[in-house]
Amino acid sequence: MSTPTPNDPIRLTQFSHGGGCGCKIAPAVLRDILADTPFASNLAAAYPDLLVGIEHGDDAAVYRLNDEQAIVATTDFFMPIVDDPFEFGRIAATNALSDVYAMGGRPLFALAIVGMPIGKLPNDVIRQILAGGESVCKAAGIPIAGGHSIDAPEPIYGLVGIGVVDPRKVKQNGGGQAGDCLILGKPLGVGIYSAALKKGLLSPDQYASMIAATTQLNTAGADLADTAGVHAMTDITGFGLLGHLLEITRASKLSAQVGLGRLPLLPGVDELARGGHITGASQRNWASYAAKCSSPTASPTGNAPCSPTRRPAADCW
């Protein structure tokens, strides 16, 4: 691939084989890789101050410093989901910091993770990616205090997010209780939008909705940690609603039911999905989760039970 000239339009997505959290390793494959690794079990006994580790696929690790403070640590990075370098930086940074908020924490600072095809992407484009990430951290009130960079064949950008939380208020996947209702903070459908965007079939209004959703910080998570009745939280990203909900039900030893007609969707997502604009990640996810989820039946409610290990005492739609 030749180096673009200054007049060539730069399409970031042409440099990567996948985009956004759709680049994640398929859940079933990841479980197989991690199955017998030493850090996948017995961590609690060896490190009693490690409050949250890898056991239930939580959004971040949490390590207790004292009775009132714990460190929240996470890392998240991926390849471009959009072509605009500044917006790609914003999306990647927002996604990384959201994991801190999902644990009920507040971010303190971040470190940048940068892998770029040097000589193929102009330095100015890379600079715009970093500026986009910095703008999100500024909005969150934190600095990017350092980081690490490599020359890579595909553009990769993300953050290490470091935050703080009261150890008594940490929200995990495993905190769900029978009768809890699922509340979504954002509409679903970013993956469908990104698939349509690659084919040039996303309208300007839909693109604006996509950027708004993917760059909205989940700052409410820290406040929800102080709210009575909130028992579990998670950040819905590359594994989709069913995948992340399944993580909650497994960790909480419950099942859940989803009323598909009640789900908030980005504008036009239904039509795009029916038109075949789905991601490769959605197919990998379903291959990993199908055995634990049943699809909608012809019942009047159109409700889809998920992970039928044990029915909750009350269903919420």
- The arrangement of strands across the sheet holding 144-151 comes to 50-52, 61-64, 70-78, 156-165, 106-116, 144-151
Interatomic CA distance for residues 2 and 14, integer angstroms: 13
Contact between 3 and 119 under an 8 Å Cβ cutoff? The reply is yes
- Three-state DSSP state, 191: helix
Interatomic CA distance for residues 160 and 93, integer angstroms: 9
Contact between 109 and 162 under an 8 Å Cβ cutoff? The reply is yes
Q: Which of 21, 23, 293, 306 is labelled catalytic? A: 21
The two tokens of residue 70 are 């714990």
DSSP string for 21-44? GGGSPPHHHHHHHHTT-GGGSSHH
The two tokens of residue 262 are 């009640």
User: Cα 81 from chain centroid?
Assistant: 13
Closest CA to 186 of 224, 149, 212: 212
Closest CA to 58 of 250, 263, 196: 250
Known active-site residue 137: no
Phi, psi (deg, nearest 5) at residue 174:
-85, 10
> Which element (helix H / strand E) includes 239?
none
83: buried, middle or exposed (CB in 10 Å: 19+, 13-18, 0-12)?
middle
Closest CA to 173 of 290, 57, 73, 261: 57
Catalytic (active-site) positions = 21
